[in-house]
A and B are shown apart, each in its own frame.
Chain A
Amino acid sequence: SQQGEEDPQALSIQEGENATMNCSYKTSINNLQWYRQNSGRGLVHLILIRSNEREKHSGRLRVTLDTSKKSSSLLITASRAADTASYFCATTHQGGSEKLVFGKGMKLTVNP
């Protein structure tokens, strides 16, 4: 079963605007990761946040984690048309190369 659930399921914005995606999960995690997928191709790892971290940054990406609410958010600042893709959150429950449990994903469209 899929644990993560992204919200909203689809988002359409203009280039230059910020995009925020939310992810909720059900059980305790070891870490939470965000992936991007372009047109049904392979997944690209964006950022990982561990359960003892609250916020991380990577370039235009900012991810937060609230373990008390079992939720995470991904913020993409100054969006570009190339950011158009599906975004997935995925959780792990043990350290190392343990299985990823994905949500259904969120479709982001950035209009030029």
Chain B
Amino acid sequence: DAGVTQSPTHLIKTRGQQVTLRCSPKSGHDTVSWYQQALGQGPQFIFQYYEEEERQRGNFPDRFSGHQFPNYSSELNVNALLLGDSALYLCASSLVHSSTDTQYFGPGTRLTVL
């Protein structure tokens, strides 16, 4: 049973460019959440997708957008990259009607903006 997978593992972009990160949830999960973790900090919630709709959003600008596909996988898009967008981007999956309230995290994508 595969856990949460993310691609790519590492990515280097320059300021102003656009990036797309991908996430496949754990088998059986229907909800995907994205988090940004700056160096030395805890993860910060970006947004959550369920039934292909953005269900919740954190305090991130509109440059951050996402999508969820019918197979529950998800993409995170960031436009007009800034140096401050350099971070580890984590995807977490869960089951909305689960009794355990547990989110399972992928290994992350390390984004470096030069």
Contact = CB atoms under 8 A, between A and B. Distances in A.
Interface of A: 1-2, 4, 30-31, 33, 35, 40-45, 48, 88, 90, 92, 95-105
Interface of B: 4, 31, 33, 35, 40-45, 48, 50, 56, 58-59, 88, 90, 92, 94-98, 100-108, 110
Contacts of B101: 30-31, 33, 48, 92, 95-97
Nearest to A31: B101
Contact of B48 (A40, A99, A103, A105): A99
B46 to A, nearest CB: 9
Residue of B4, B33, B94, B103 ringed by the most chain A CB atoms within 10 A: B103
Contacts of B50: 97
A30 B97 CA distance: 15
B23 to A, nearest CB: 11
Nearest first, the 10 A-B pairs at minimum CB distance are A102-B42, A99-B45, A97-B94, A43-B105, A42-B107, A97-B31, A42-B105, A102-B43, A97-B96, A104-B42
A33 B101 CA distance: 9
Contacts of B4: 42
Nearest to B48: A99
B33 A97 contact: yes
